[in-house]
Structure 1
Amino acid sequence: MIVLLWLVIGVIAAAQRGYFDGSESNCAKAGTTAITVVAGPLNYVGANPKIDCDLPEPSQ
């Protein structure tokens, strides 16, 4: 029950930051959204997790 509440608080924080608006979809946004949800209540004590994805490009 505690884990579920933790994740719900994380989803609320991600929604307040506008991560579910759907305007763009990329690796960095998906990672940032996921880590924000996992951070849960820590978002309200100053945590602002960000993920930067640099995926390798295929050779030509």
Structure 2
Amino acid sequence: MGRGSSIGGVILVIWLIIGVIAAGQRGYFNSEETNCAKAGTIVVTIIAGPLNYVGVNPKINCDLPEPSK
């Protein structure tokens, strides 16, 4: 493993930390409500990282099938 892979790993960790901070600032971790859309939005916000601060506001909609009656 070269030096480039360790630098890439550090950049990836910093990127994800910034995403977690952005999700926290938007209040995504505060509510008790948990569903597919909420979890998906948190994940894509974390993955978007610093892009959250230049206008990216990822949102996920989940339409899960209802069981038949």
What RMSD, in angstroms, separates the aligned Cα atoms of the two structures?
0.7
TM-score (structure 2 length as normaliser)? 0.84
Unaligned runs of 5+ in 1: none
Count of residues in correspondence between the two structures = 60
Following superposition, the deviation at residue 58 of structure 1 comes to: 1.1
TM-score (structure 1 length as normaliser)? 0.96
Q: What is the percent sequence identity of the aligned residues?
A: 70
Unaligned runs of 5+ in 2: 1-9
Q: Which has the larger radius of gyration?
A: 2
Listed as ranges, the matches of 1:26-37 within 5 Å are: 26-37=35-46
- Return the structure number with greater helix share: 2
